[in-house]
Amino acid sequence: MSPRPTVLVVAATDSSGGAGITRDVQVLADFSVDARCVITAVTAQSDSQVSAVHHIAPAIIRAQVAAAFETGRVSVIKIGMLGNRASVDAIIDSLPQDVSIPIVLDPVLVSTSGGMLLDAGGRDAMRRNLLPRAALVTPNVPEAAALLDADIASNEAELIEQAQRLLQLGPQAVLIKGGHWSGAEAVDLLVSRTYGPHRIPSPRLRATKRGTGCALASAIAAGMASGMSLLDACGYAKRYVLQMLRRQ
């Protein structure tokens, strides 16, 4: 029997259970994909605030990565909250150079409640050293602007332009999530080195569930680990998150 697809999740805890590693592992289980994990930070959070963050020591982050890879094959790496510069650097140094393992990078910067989830040095290191290694980076509209030090895009043409500029920072593909925008549809925009922009629309729901960004990136990673193309995995993941929001 061939081993089940496995995603290595690099993430933080969220004591409310809404986002972070709890959400990632739930999604991977829904896709019958196994999870290995590297914890970068422990956060004390409710749905309304981030009250404390404890960053895990870089040596412990490196040891978790090494042990996760010793355990066996990893199909895809999914990276969520990193927290600070030291954690970004520890992940960059310790991940294998094997480019055949795709990296799905959710550039988590700020929680929905407004808590800072990555410091300025971490954002810089992510932009310079992690984005170029990603198969896919999945910012929301404010994160795309922050990664580019630009104003928040106010229409789809500006968003496509920002997606193209993010692509120039080195990832193979960029998916900008339109959930933070208004309008009847929530359109995600996918651009890659070989195609795009590709629109992935869905009806906009009046839902406020947290952890949708974590869920989308994990669902994409799970789809890719199960053999889907990047484009199919993005469409499938979008439908999965829509169902998750409808269930709330």
211 counts as binding ligand PLP under rule CB under 6 A: yes
14 counts as binding ligand PLP under rule CB under 6 A: yes
Beta bridge partners of 188: 200
Instruction: Identify the residue among 15, 26, 112, 202 touching ligand PLP (CB under 6 A).
Output: 112
Helix (H) / strand (E) element for 6: namely: strand 6-14
Instruction: Identify the residue among 8, 9, 19, 237 touching ligand PLP (CB under 6 A).
Output: 19
Q: What count of other Cβ atoms lies within 10 Å of the Cβ of residue 177?
A: 24
11 counts as binding ligand PLP under rule CB under 6 A: yes
108 counts as binding ligand PLP under rule CB under 6 A: yes
Strands 50-55 and 185-192: unpaired
- Cα torsion 183, 236, 168, 109 to 10°: value is 70
Interface pattern 181-210 for ligand PLP (x via CB under 6 A): -----------------------------x
Query: Do 223 and 240 form a contact (C-beta atoms < 8 A)?
Result: no
Burial of 57 (0-12, 13-18, 19+ CB in 10 A): exposed
Q: How far is the CB of 157 from ligand PLP (least distance, A)?
A: 26
Q: Which three-class secondary structure state does DSSP give residue 126?
A: helix
Q: How far is the CB of 189 from ligand PLP (least distance, A)?
A: 19
Q: Which residues bind ligand PLP (CB under 6 A)?
A: 11-12, 14, 18-20, 43, 45, 80-81, 106, 108, 111-113, 117, 210-211, 213-214
